Amino acid sequence: MHPVLFQVGSLTIYTYGFFIATGAVLGGLFMWRQGKRRFGMTFDQANTLLLLLIAAGVVGGKVFIIFENPSFYFSHPLELFTKNGFVFYGSLLTAIPVMLWFFKKNKIPTLGMLDVMAMVTCIVHGFGRIGCFNAGCCYGKPTQSFLGVVFTDPACQAQPLNTPLHPTQLYEAGLIFLLLIVLVILDRNKKFDGQVFLIYLIIYAAGRSVLELFRGDLQRGFVVQNMVSNSQFISLIVIVAAIYFYVKSKRKGNFLLSNQNDNGR
């Protein structure tokens, strides 16, 4: 594809970075507008949270690279900073505690704001996967399907070049933007705060597990070699945890609703 968007003299703008930045800006604006409308979030609060999440995402995304090849990275820790890309689950799982801390510190309703952040995450992540497609990272297995995409630019990370590959980056971007639509609709009809965020975790993790079957970048790491990838293993944990909290929150919501109805009689 097009790993380099354009060059001006010695300045190189990479397509991956451009789409990540675009997603961050759009996601940040959405977060601020929704946070302000629902919970009175100020622009300074939104800006601070966005910067904290970017920092957390970078750190978590880099640290989780260790699981791709633990023995290598423990022996060569500096390689983490020279390797391109991030592990999404590392960024997400690092960002969640940062959000919880920030909402509590600023007295912003945690569960309600997490619902907003689920949609924000889809915006940033969806654009990020488009960037991945242009960079050739997170590439798919060779295929003879009409969906196959041929990468030819030696600067891209896809392997092998000049061979039709599953465009797993676009598959995932499609999943994420479709999920975003579902979350927006659900948000208007949700039964309890936190429902949108938990549904996001369940659907994304399930979809990611399926998409992993089409991935061809073996360096992403496996729990069971060539059978269960790191992301599939994390997805399973995320699904189980999200379902647990979903059932717990739903029961609590039904209990509160029942009490309200009894008090109104």
Domain boundaries, the chain: 4-191
Report the sign of the C-alpha dihedral through residues 15, 21, 24, 26, in that order. negative
Would you state the pLDDT for residue 255?
42
Would you state the pLDDT for residue 162?
94
pLDDT in tens, 74-131: 777 777 766 667 889 999 999 999 999 999 999 999 999 999 999 999 999 999 999 9
Q: Position of tokens 């092998």?
A: 160
Question: How many Å is the maximal CA-CA distance in the chain?
Answer: 75
CA–CA separation, 150 vs 133, rounded Å? 11
SS3 state at 185? helix
Would you state the pLDDT for residue 92?
95
Q: Could you give the angle at the alpha carbon of 21 between the alpha carbons of 140 and 125, nearest 5°?
A: 45
Between 10 and 50, the more confident residue is 50
**Is the overall model pTM greater than 0.75, yes or no?**
yes
Would you state the pLDDT for residue 72?
73
Average pLDDT estimate for 162-168: 96
Report the sign of the C-alpha dihedral through residues 86, 134, 139, 154, in that order. negative
Q: Which residues contact 21 (CB under 8 A, 6 or more apart)?
A: none
pLDDT in tens, 243-259: 999 999 888 765 444 44
Please, are residues 132 and 149 in contact by the beta-carbon 8 Å criterion?
no
CA–CA separation, 125 vs 29, rounded Å? 15
